[in-house]
Structure 1
Amino acid sequence: MSDHRRPTEGGRAGHALDVARVIDAPPDAIFYAFIALYDSRRPEWVTDSRLDLRCGGRWSVAFQVPDGPAFSEERVITALECPHRLAYDMAAVFDDEPGFDTTVEVTIEAAEDGHRIRLMQRGFPTAATRDEFAAAWPDVLGELARRLS
């Protein structure tokens, strides 16, 4: 397994990030394990989830990350091509600070040592906010790899 992280500048669309990891598992196993990570087999930092897994479906996810504020994400699924692509618009909602909107695209492609799951998130309002998410995504993909090994 390998880990890849690359913050990027997003111009008018805000700041963006690009995170990838190669996992030695079939694409359908990776895809459905990613969904389960935020739905049916949640880690303790995901406190609630309501999922309508279809294009146009809504996906509400609540978080309590260690040493961070509680927040939720209101997602609308914009693309669903099982098991290779999932995209959604996301609105982050916080109790005590302004929220923001981003777009997320998750793709799964064949790689030399398995399949590469790649997550691109665009539209962060600041580089600092982008960097907070960029620091967390490798841990999420690491948890996914642990579940599939």
Structure 2
Amino acid sequence: MAVLIVLALAPLWVTGMFGRGLWTPDEPREADIAWRMSRQSDRTLPQLAGTPFLEKPPLSYWMSGAAISLFGDSAAAERAPNLLYAAVTAVAVGALALAMDTGAVAALIAALVAASALTAFRVGDGWCRRWRSSLSSCGSGAGRSCAAGSCMQASRFRG
């Protein structure tokens, strides 16, 4: 059942994920770190511009680096592990609901909601980017805080 959910919702996850370039400011940096992980001999420590990058755990860089090694150097390859993360999340939420003895229908609905959340986050991310750039142009922390609060508020309505 969980596999069917993942297969049915895969088009939602793929739409827009592979048909675009890297979005600034974060994606180019993350892709560069993953690309370096795929090329460097010591893959235990992520590096940015030749210096260790220790701001995040290395698992996502390892996964993206492996995808770049398998599929080539592209934005789509760098994002490929995100599909795996979304599929695992949907299956886990469905399995958790099933383990809570809620019944198969409730487990299916829980997995569908978890699987469709990625699309809401992706749509919400574009909205947040527009507001962040316009509000933070004033250069104050208040503008950035307002933008962050707006994004968090928007995610409540979209999710």
Q: Please, what TM-score do these two structures have when normalized by structure 2? A: 0.31
- Which of the two has greater helix per residue? 2
Which is greater in Rg?
2
- Which of the two has greater strand per residue? 1
